[in-house]
Amino acid sequence: METLPQLISEKIKLRQLQPSDFSSLIRHANNQKIADNILNISFPYTEDNAKSRFQFIKEAFEKKDRFIFAMASLATNEVIGEIGLHLDKANNKAEIGYWLGENYWNKGITASAVALILKFGFEEIQLNKIYATHFTDNPASGKVLLKNKMNLEGELKDHYLNKGIYKTVYTYGITLRKYKKSKN
């Protein structure tokens, strides 16, 4: 795989991030609510942050240890978020991470993006398990994961230090076996 494939649903397109996307990336990521719920997004989010993020995504793809897609609007191709897989090759599993611009919340877009990334992870990369975590004070993220047939697997107390505060997370997972059953 030389470049990321485009993955398209009825609600969202997942594609490779380009330098021409920086202005829309900044516009949507520069949000305190997003920074509060995502470990690797700071507020304010600047052009330097976007450039560093782009370089990180590019290098991670070259190493094949992360596959991070831009979430792009079907209507405009504008980047409105990100979704990706962080691979644990030794255990044939990956963690999903995502964020979406606030103007697009509660429209089913993230759930659709998660469905696409699950299909990519299981059918293209051939993973055995995909999991995700979310901060306990962000229940909407849990609903996205449950909608995609992921199981709540546990609660990890004070698991991440985020902007100086220890945060508890819920963890969800789905195995290849369950994914295949959910498709039948």
Cβ distance 91 to 21 under 8 Å? no
Closest among 120, 125, 122 to 64, alpha carbons compared: 125
Give the pTM: 0.95
pLDDT in tens, 7-52: 999 999 999 999 999 999 999 999 999 999 988 888 999 999 999 9
Token reading at 180: 């295949």
Instruction: Specify whether domain 7-183 bears CATH 3.90.650.10.
Output: no
Condensed to tens digits (0 to 9), the pLDDT of residues 69-96 reads: 999 999 999 999 999 999 999 999 999 9
Residue with tokens 């021409």: 20
Domain chopping of the chain, boundaries: 7-183
